[in-house]
Amino acid sequence: MSEPRPGRRSALVTGGASGIGRALAEALGRRGVAVTLADRQLDLAAQVAEGIRASGGAATAVELDVRDAARFRTVVEELVTREGRLDYLFNNAGIGVSAEIKDYELEDWDDVLDVNLRGVAYGIQAAYPVMVRQGFGHVVNTASMAGFLPVPFAGSYAASKHAVVGLSRTLRIEAETHGVRVSALCPGFIRTPILEGGRYGRLKYRVDPARLQRELERARPMDPSLLAERVLHALDRNRAIIVEPRRWRVLWLLDRLFPAFGHAFGRMLLRRSRRLVAQMQRTGGGTGGGAAP
């Protein structure tokens, strides 16, 4: 996290009502940071904020659709008016559409890119100038291991996360001249609602939700509360790229050193995903949801 300045620190966490965003907000609250949880699901975000306050922290819930640039600016302005500063922006809101690209429609690109990429850009446009004027702050953009590796059944998601990694690396170079830090958070599998589609994502095939859950658990998803603590620890050290769980760093390194490995990994995922979907479609089941790491 950024070097402490006198006074209470503040943070804005998008997608703060559930999953990684909720865990980050709760961990920040335990550190004495005044947290603003921004989410389309205002009622759920308000419950999380209430829990943080009940534990002795400071938290506010606000409604925000990250696709709305004007609303994003208003949320940041109100936060700065209320707290007098903005120390951290966690651009965390994200959705996924799971299907092979041959089965995509235009909305499957638009929905994911609007939230996962435009939402990050709008957050930067709203908060980064404030941090530049202050001379401090930390922008944390949630990408994914899908921002490095080919991930079949998640074309739009992978495209958006590759873009977020590139944006974060570029902004980090520019921002450091202004005293502002930038990091990209690149999780592997984390036990969050997005693994099953989340509130706004979707899987475009009929599957058995229970079977899907069992398959996802085989990947040993990390608990988001553990992820949040490790992320804040990494931010203390100003890490540019944060990969968790740690075992995923091996895949990241192998892909960087041996690009053919990444292609082999992607082919394996494609075979497994096709086989799983085919099996579940033969046995029937309801409409499920899903997302890549």
Residues annotated as catalytic (active site), given as ranges: 157
| Beta partners for residue 139, in sequence order | 89, 182
* Residue 292 and residue 154 in contact, taking contact as beta carbons nearer than 8 Å: yes
- DSSP calls for 39-66: ES-HHHHHHHHHHHHHTT--EEEEE--T
Q: Which position has the token pair 């759920």?
A: 44
- 3-state secondary structure (DSSP) of residue 79: helix
Closest CA to 291 of 126, 175, 89, 151: 151
CA pair distance 105, 87, nearest whole angstrom: 39
- DSSP calls for 157-222: HHHHHHHHHHHHHHHHHHHGGGT-EEEEEEESSBSSGGGGTTTT-EESSB--HHHHHHHHHTT-PB
CA pair distance 233, 230, nearest whole angstrom: 5
Provide the 8-state DSSP code for 12. E
CB atoms under 10 Å from CB of 150, counted, come to: 18
232 Cβ contact partners less than 8 Å away, ≥ 6 residues apart: 1, 24, 27, 28, 31
